[in-house]
Structure 1
Amino acid sequence: MAANKIFVFAAVTFLSACQNNKSIISVSYEDGGNLQEGDKVLLEGIAVGEVSKFHFVPKKVFIDLSMEQGVKIPLNSQFVVNKSLLGSTCIIIKPSHETAFISNMDTVMGVSYKEPVIDSVKQRKMQAGVQKIIQGLSEVLHAADTDSMSSVKESNKPF
């Protein structure tokens, strides 16, 4: 019975890949982590695919990812379910340093974290944004301080 389920799962996945000329990678998770069809798959902060189908078997869920053609993902990369601080969910691929790549129709193990994960690209962008905000605030405060000093000098002039 279990062999029949795996065969059906493989057949459905294969047919899905043939229909849209995209490669399909199936990721196995213990928990789907609130993922939904259409959720983005990110590699180095760039959308390279989306969640396309769910296949439930006892104690696991296999999630098919419809990937853009030509995307190369090294073997042993981590497929992390990311629950963002704002409530949206996506899969972040943390690439390994392997020189061989995952192929169309491969099945890999996924990783689920309970806390939000911020990939390194987003983290750098956020840090740069915060630095710009701090610099802007500093300039505003400096300008306000300069204006205050001018007002004080003007009010101390004799009439």
Structure 2
Amino acid sequence: MRTIPLTPEIRNTLVGSFVVIVGALLLFYSSRGSVGNIVGGYHLKAIYQNVDGVSVGTNVMLTGIKVGEVTKLDYVPDGHRVSLTMRIDENIKLPIDSVAMIISSGMLGGKFIKLEPGGELEQLGEGDQFQYVQDAVIFEELLEKIVLDAEARRMEKMKNSAEQTIKPKSSPFGSLLK
């Protein structure tokens, strides 16, 4: 058996070929979607005022497990709302009073749709719309509210402190301010 000497050129060609093949395989599998993609299933709709951070492909979760994904987002001019369509695994049955909430997976994390099952016996079917939804919380607005509340409390403390300082009975100068 004759062996081919492993010159630097041959080695570089083999390594390059290996990298190209692995890259092509990764590209192929990523274009097919993740392992948990929902292929069949049924479609449900939800109308939101704000879908900040949600896009086509966003996960739909039930008790921490992916059960679907967002397939379509449409602007609804009436009331300036957004119609969100999601595909749900056909094995998942949801009561008609279930809630579809847009949840953040952390301060800097992405968003997902969290489903909270209701208690009714009647179930949602193909093309049905959620009666109950919760819009996305925008962290910038939440932080702004927290800062403004803290500032208001600080100003109230300063006002109370100033009132205590210049109380008429607390100092001889207080009676002059009356």
Report TM bin, short chain. Answer: 0.5 to 0.7
Deviation at 1:77, TM superposition (A): 0.9
CA contact (8 A) 2:45 2:127 kept: yes
Partner of residue 7, structure 1: none
- 1:112 is matched by which residue type in structure 2? D
Partner of residue 52, structure 1: 71
Task: Quote the Cα distance in structure 2 between the aligned partners of 1:57 and 1:96.
Answer: 26
Question: Are residue 30 (structure 1) and residue 52 (structure 2) matched?
Answer: no
Structure 2, unaligned stretches of length 5 or more? 1-38, 140-178
Map of 1:79-90 to 2, 5 A cutoff? Answer: 79-85=100-106, 86-90=108-112
Deviation at 1:21, TM superposition (A): 3.8
Deviation at 1:61, TM superposition (A): 0.5
Secondary structure of 2:130's counterpart equals strand
CA shift digits 1:56-111 (9 cap, x unpaired): 11211001001111210111111000012142110000111111111111012421
> Aligned residue pairs: how many?
97
Which structure has the larger Rg?
2
Partner of residue 97, structure 2: 76
Task: Quote the Cα distance in structure 2 between the aligned partners of 1:99 and 1:115.
Answer: 34
Task: Quote the Cα distance in structure 2 between the aligned partners of 1:55 and 1:115.
Answer: 20
Partner of residue 142, structure 1: none
Partner of residue 8, structure 1: none
Partner of residue 135, structure 2: 112
CA shift digits 1:105-149 (9 cap, x unpaired): 101242115278xxxxxxxxxxxxxxxxxxxxxxxxxxxxxxxxx
Q: Percent identity?
A: 25
In angstroms, what is the RMSD of aligned CA positions?
1.7
Structure 1, unaligned stretches of length 5 or more? 1-19, 117-159
Larger strand fraction of residues: 1
Task: Quote the Cα distance in structure 2 between the aligned partners of 1:99 and 1:81.
Answer: 24
